[in-house]
Structure formats: structure tokens, C-alpha cells
Structure 1
């Protein structure tokens, strides 16, 4: 029996590019984006060399300014050897033409974002109810200098994958060093005779 990665559209439709009514409906509703289709096609192609992908489940992809973040089902990546994950990420990055980050899905927003914020550490996560009855998640990280991904990218990933409005704060912020402005010396302009006259003035 041949296994294939579990995806939110029909595998045959994805390979042929002709989608059935059910798949077209998911695309129209925005459940499946053009980026999702592009990433899923790349992953199905990579299954030939990375057989471990056959037992995984694709969730979502987000194209941020830092990288394309590909989300797989919770528990899919932990069973893969580290060298295999590195090779898979490189191959996928080459196909998509942009750096790729692979993470696992999780109902816990802290566990979900933890691999993305590393080496920064999550100090606390709080729920804040806003005046319009909407909820905001406030995540506090230990040190701003440890965060290697932009706050904007974290917010975009949270919004698209979890429909969460994320606010990021830091227990310790990086100090910005202000460098003194060097003043340029103004050269005297004029003929040698003019300079001699100025020097002789008492």
C-alpha cells in the first residue's frame, strides 16, 4: 500500500492542476491559498527522496518577510532525524526560492511559536480582552536581542494560522547606542590676498 502526505485538497487534483468542486470551494473561501498549493506540490515532489513525508500532514504555509513558514501536524517533525530535517528544509528552500522554516502545529500558542522565537525564551503569555470584546494575546520574551525573526512576522503567522491578534513585549530591550555627530571643519574660502588681509586685522 502506497502512503502519501495528507493534504487539504485531492492529491490527483493538485498534481494535475484541475481541481474538483470541493477543492475549488476551499480555494475560493481562502482555506487554501496559492502559496499552499505551491508548497504542497513541492512537498509531494520531495516525497520521492524523503519517504518520511508520506506519514505527515500538511497544515498551512505563511510567506513572511523573514521566511516561508511551513506548518505540519503536531508530532510530525519530532520523529524525523535532525540531519533529514536540515536537508528537507534546504531542498524546499531551493524549490521555493526563499528560506523555509518547518514547524509543528499546536493548540498551545506558546508551544507553536517557541521554535520560531528561539533562541529567545518565552517568559509569559497573557490573554487581554479589548473594549470591543475581541481578545489579544500578549507574549513576553526574555531579551529583544535574542529574537532573530521580526515581530511583524510573528504577528502575521499568528493571524493567518491561528486567527490570533498577537502583541510582543520584552522583559529586556536592546539599548540603542547613539553615536556623536562629527562636525566637519569649514575651510576658508578666498584668494591668498584675502587670507593675508584677515590675518593682519587687529
Structure 2
């Protein structure tokens, strides 16, 4: 798996100057080192397909960990679900693995599933900034993987734009 830190640093837990500076700058969070270590162990033992996958970033919001990855063509959705369950057991957090995308609707659909996204509205605020509103059905609210505020925070961090979830 392609990761932003050196393999040896992640495997050993001792960080070189370059890796430590990435953590100090905030480009990589400290908890991400543990996630990368587990993913590298899984690549060696169970999931050889992870060799061609790319790890982009992990976001931790309350009790939810969201991984942004780019999968190789050989990697199926079912295998990602198995990897998420293993990570869930080892980290004690709820884990969602998302395919990296610049499309807000695509990211929201992956994160909020099994709840369906009705649409994404763009709201232009008086100060000239933009905010996105993701609409979901009232009947689907119970299918959300976490509370609305946590999901809004996670989506806002992923896209670096204010995003709200509205239940209709």
C-alpha cells in the first residue's frame, strides 16, 4: 500500500525526521500511524491486493474513523468491508472506507450509506462563500452510520468546505 510515511518508520514505530516533521506539521495525524501499520500488516498476511492501493488520509470524528483510499481494479467492495471490520475490531472505532473523490455527492453517498442521498444543493451565502447541503429522506435517517453532526464535521473536513445534512 502506498502511504505518506516511510514503511520502516510505520512498521517499527520509530519515526525518522521526515516522518516526524509530517506529523508535527499536522499533515499526518498521530493515530494514522497505527491505522497504516494495521493496513501494512493486512497487506502482508491476508490482502495482497492492498499492494496497489493508495492511502490518502484518515479522519477521526467522535467514534467514527473515515479512511480515504484509492483502490486498484483488483480490489472488490467486499474486501474493503472485511478490512473495515478488522480495523474496527483492532481500533475499537466504527470504520468507514471511502474511495477518494472530489465529487461531494459521491463521497456523501459512500459515507452515509445505506441511507440514500436525495441530492446536493449549493447555497451561496451573502459574504460570497459557498455551503453545500446534502439532502436525505426522513425515512432514511435511521440508517445513518453516526449522528448528523459527526457526519457533517467529517464531510466538511474531507472536502474543506462547510457541508450540512438536511433531513426532509
1:137–1:165 contact (8 Å) kept in structure 2: yes
Which residue of 111, 129, 132 corresponds with 2:127?
132
2:62–2:150 contact (8 Å) kept in structure 1: yes
SS of match in other structure, 2:137: strand
2:118–2:136 contact (8 Å) kept in structure 1: yes
Instruction: Give the deviation of 1:150 after TM superposition.
Output: 1.6
The residue correspondences of 1:17-96 to structure 2 (distance < 5 A) are 17-48=13-44, 49-73=46-70, 76=71, 79-96=74-91
Structure 2 equivalent of residue 174 of structure 1? none
Which residue of 147, 152, 155 corresponds with 1:150?
147
Instruction: Report the TM-score, using the length of structure 2 for normalisation.
Output: 0.85
Query: Structure 2 CA distance, aligned partners of 1:28 and 1:163?
Result: 20
SS of match in other structure, 1:157: helix
1:70–1:101 contact (8 Å) kept in structure 2: yes
SS of match in other structure, 1:42: helix
Alpha carbons of 1:141 and 1:77: their partners in 2 closer, same or farther (altered >3 Å)? Answer: farther
What stretches of structure 2 of length at least 5 have no aligned partner?
Answer: none
Instruction: Give the deviation of 1:33 after TM superposition.
Output: 0.1
What stretches of structure 1 of length at least 5 have no aligned partner?
Answer: 172-202
Instruction: Give the deviation of 1:72 after TM superposition.
Output: 0.8
The residue correspondences of 1:157-176 to structure 2 (distance < 5 A) are 157-171=154-168
2:55–2:68 contact (8 Å) kept in structure 1: yes
Query: Structure 2 CA distance, aligned partners of 1:96 and 1:129?
Result: 39
The CA RMSD measured in Å over matched residues stands at 2.1
Q: Which is strand-richer, 1 or 2? A: 2
Instruction: Report the TM-score, using the length of structure 1 for normalisation.
Output: 0.72
2:52–2:72 contact (8 Å) kept in structure 1: no
Deviations 1:107-161 (A, max 9, x none): 1011012022123222221222323333211111123344343211211212322
1:66–1:150 contact (8 Å) kept in structure 2: no
Greater gyration radius: 1
